Amino acid sequence: MTDRAAALRRSESVTLRSVRKRFGSVIAVDDISLEIAAGEFLTLLGASGSGKSTTLMIIAGFHIPDAGEVRLGGVDVTELPPYRRDLGLVYQHYALFPHMTVAKNVAFPLEMRRRPKDEIRRRVEAALDLVHLGGYQTRLPSQLSGGQQQRVALARALVFEPPVLLMDEPLGALDKKLRETMQTEIKAIQRKVGITTVYVTHDQEEALTLSDRIVVLNGGRIEQEGRPEDVYERPRSRFVADFMGASNVLSVTLSEAGPTSAFARTTNGVRIAVRDDHAWKPGVAVLVVIRPERVRLARPGAACPWSATATIVDVTYVGGSLRYRLQLDSRETLTALLPNLGGGAFNQGDAVAVWWEPADTWLIAEDHAS
C-alpha cells in the first residue's frame, strides 16, 4: 500500500442529489442528497428498513435510482454498472471464496484486472500486512476466525486501491468484544490509507466510534447529519435523541430566563433548569433532552445549584456504571447513569435530589418530536 498522501489523491468524493428509490409500494429512499468529501469516513445509521443499505447499493451501482443523480469525483455515474465504478465493497458475511486460499481471495480483484504477477504478489502481501494477516497467505477461509475472515474481506476490497470503500454492516456477524476490536482496526486502517469510506450500521456506538460524520436515516429520509458529537449532544428530533442512545425527554413549558440558564415547568409542574440559548421565549412548549450520564444525584438537602426531588425506583448494575431509574415527585420518570465506585451510593426506595448542568440539556421544538 502507498502512503496516506498518495491514497488521498486517489480518493474521490461521492455526491447524491435528490435520490429516490421505490420497491413496489415501498419508498426505500426518499429524496436523499449528500456530499461526501474525499477521504471522509461517513456512516449511514438507521434501523432496519430506514434505507441505509439501499442508499449504499445505489452508490455501488447495484440499484439504479428512480430519480436523482449519483456522482463520483464529480462524474455522473448514475447509470454506470458496478464493475465500471471500480469501488471496494465489504459485506457482513464476507463473501470469500471457500476453495481459495487467503492469498488467492485477496488477489482475485487484481487478477480480474489482469495485473502483472509480480504486482499482484506485492500488493497482496502489502494488503495482508495492512490488516495484520501477514503469513496467512496459504490458509483457507475455513481455517480462520470470523474476525480474520473479515480482515481478508477488507484486504480484498482495498488491494486494487479503489477511490471509495463501501461497507455494509461488516461487523454484524461478530461478537461484541471482537466487534470493538475490529472497529479500532477499521478506523486505524481508514486513517492510514485515507480512502473515502461509506459505512452502513444500525449500531449507534459503532457509528460514534468510527465516523467523521454520521447520517441518521429514518423512513428513507435524512433525519439528521453531522459530526458524532453534534448528533449525539444536539439531536434535532425526538427520534434522533432516542435512537442515538438512552435519553431523558421531558415535555416542558419555558417559564423564566436567568443570566446563564433558563427554567421550565414539566407537564406536571416540576421546575427544572435548562439551557438558555436565547432562541426560545417564555411560554413556549418544547422537549428537553438530558442524557442519563449527565444527570446528577445528591442526598436531600445537599447544596446543589438547583434540584428537583425524586425517588429511586430501580437500580441496575451494568459493570462500570450503575443505572438508576427515578420518579420525580410529579410522576415523570428519568434515568441516571453514574460511575460504579463500589458499594452503590443510592438504593432502591431512596429519596434523592436530582440536578444537572443547564448546558447539558438540549431543547427540541414540539413539532420536531417525531
H or E element: which one contains 55?
helix 52-60
| Residues 6+ away with beta carbon under 8 Å from 176 | none
**What pLDDT, in 10s, does the model give residues 314-370?**
999 988 899 999 999 888 999 999 998 876 689 999 999 999 999 999 999 876 555
C-beta contacts of 338-345 below 8 A and 24+ residues apart: 338/297, 344/315, 345/297
pLDDT at 284 over 70: yes
Local confidence band at 128 (pLDDT 50, 70, 90 cut-offs):
very high
Domain residue extents for the chain: 4-241, 268-368
**What pLDDT, in 10s, does the model give residues 3-35?**
455 554 578 999 999 999 999 999 999 999 999
**What pLDDT, in 10s, does the model give residues 34-86?**
999 999 999 999 999 999 999 999 999 999 999 999 999 999 999 999 999 99
User: Which fold is adopted by the domain 268-368?
Assistant: OB fold (Dihydrolipoamide Acetyltransferase, E2P) (2.40.50)
Do 4-241 and 268-368 agree at the fold level? no
| pLDDT attached to residue 6 | 53
pLDDT at 262 over 80: yes
Reported pTM: 0.90
Indicate the residue type of 101. T
Q: Which three cell numbers stand for residue 333?
A: 420518570
Percentage of the chain exceeding pLDDT 90: 79
pLDDT at 2 over 60: no
- The CATH number for 4-241, chosen from 3.40.50.300, 3.40.50.2300, 3.40.50.970, 3.20.20.70, is 3.40.50.300
Average of per-residue pLDDT values in the chain: 91
Answer positive or negative: Cα dihedral of 28, 34, 39, 44: negative
